[in-house]
Amino acid sequence: MPELPEVESIRKQLENYVVGHTIEDVEINYKKCFTGDPEKVKGGKIKKIRRFGKALSIDLDNNYSLFIHIKMTGQLIYRGPNLKNPPDISDKVKGGLNGKHNHVTFILDNHSSHPSSLKLRRTGKAREGQGAALYYIDYRKFGWIKIVTSDKIQETSFVNKLGPEPFKDLTLDKFSTVVQSTGMAIKNVLMDQSKIAGVGNIYANDALFLADIHPEKRSNKLNDAEVKKLFESIEKVLMKGLKYGGASEVSFVRPDGTTGNYQSHTLVYGKEGEKCPNGCGGEIKKIKVGGRGTYFCSECQKK
DNA sequence: CTAGGATCCTGTCAGC
DNA sequence: TGCTGACAGGATCCTA
């Protein structure tokens, strides 16, 4: 599901495609996912894209931001003149760009004055020379978009509660403190956004496998060597995720419509019944930890 | 403090 | 073939 690497790859593409555009109009088809007055972002020019854990903010030049969490099936897709030959996304975007799962469309400024361009955008055919738009699509409707004041994002309840984030402020020392502070199952600690930001199910499974730690091992029972190894493993799997542009597990696509590739490189995630990649001869098992599907090698990962 | 369940939602898939 | 029910899952909230 979209975790740090997936959301970061979306962030990078948005930097590339939508920064510099002005939001001309906002079409909301599903009100429940949208909080705030859309009038406040109309006329705003996009200047920066930030990421907070698994959430994104699209910052405008009028001190308003679109604060977005795509949860597991949300998609942000760009169509416009600076994207040549977008790939076919019909199998990834259920119902198409303007189908029943399109909840919000941000009409961007390119060539917008041309009368034909509005029609083209409405039919999902915005492309080179015919207008630009950013589509928000989410067939499970868990994701959300909120309009917030740019300099108050830190104070939102979401960002407020986020723990330190790998590659940012999560040092080995901080990680060690977090891990030692609770007796929860270690996998649940990794996935708890208030303890560590950005890690979700796929990378938690793979990091624990790489560190040879059982997902249900009590967090505060890890020794120093295990803590260090796990810390390094988290960075390794996240790096790998970033390198492959994320994992297109269910419906993850990047704004240009391309998919990530980490799903072909997972270590244990989604591999129930397969042989352990360590070559130990064991088989990958699937259990539930904290209500979430959990994959591990019972030979390599002991409690 | 921790565990577990319910909630939100819909496509997918197993079972009959 | 067609229906029904279970399931998945990020974050949050509630109860035990």
Q: Where are the domains of chain A?
A: 4-160, 163-297
Report how far residue A186's alpha carbon sits from residue A282's, in angstroms, rounded to the nearest whole number: 22
Please name which of A117, A119, A107 lies closest in space to residue A23, comparing C-alpha atoms: A107
Identify the three-state secondary structure at position A168.
Answer: coil
- Torsion-angle region of A245 (φ positive above 0: left; ψ -120 to 50: alpha; else: beta): left
Please report, as a single letter, which amino acid is at residue A110: N
Respond yes or no: is residue A94 known to be catalytic. Answer: no
**CB of A32 under 7 A from strand C?**
no
Distance A78 CA to C11 C1' (A): 26
- The residues of the protein lying within 7 Å (CB) of strand B read A 32, 94, 100-101, 139-142, 182-185, 188, 220, 290-291
- Closest nucleotide (C1' vs CA) to A91 is B11
Report how far residue A24's alpha carbon sits from residue A112's, in angstroms, rounded to the nearest whole number: 8
- Answer yes or no: is pLDDT of A113 > 90: no
pLDDT at A123: 55
CATH architecture of the domain formed by A4-160? Alpha-Beta Barrel (3.20)
- Closest nucleotide (C1' vs CA) to A69 is C10
Higher pLDDT, A91 or A159: A159
* Alpha-helical regions (H) of A104-223: 115-122, 157-161, 172-180, 186-191, 201-210
Among A37-46, A58-67, A120-129, A201-210, whose mean pLDDT is lowest? A120-129
Respond yes or no: is residue A51 known to be catalytic. Answer: no
Respond yes or no: is residue A2 known to be catalytic. Answer: yes
Reply yes or no on domain A163-297 having CATH 1.10.8.50: yes
> What value does the mean pLDDT of chain A take?
89
Among A97-106, A120-129, A224-233, A261-270, whose mean pLDDT is lowest? A120-129
Domain pair A4-160 / A163-297, same fold: no
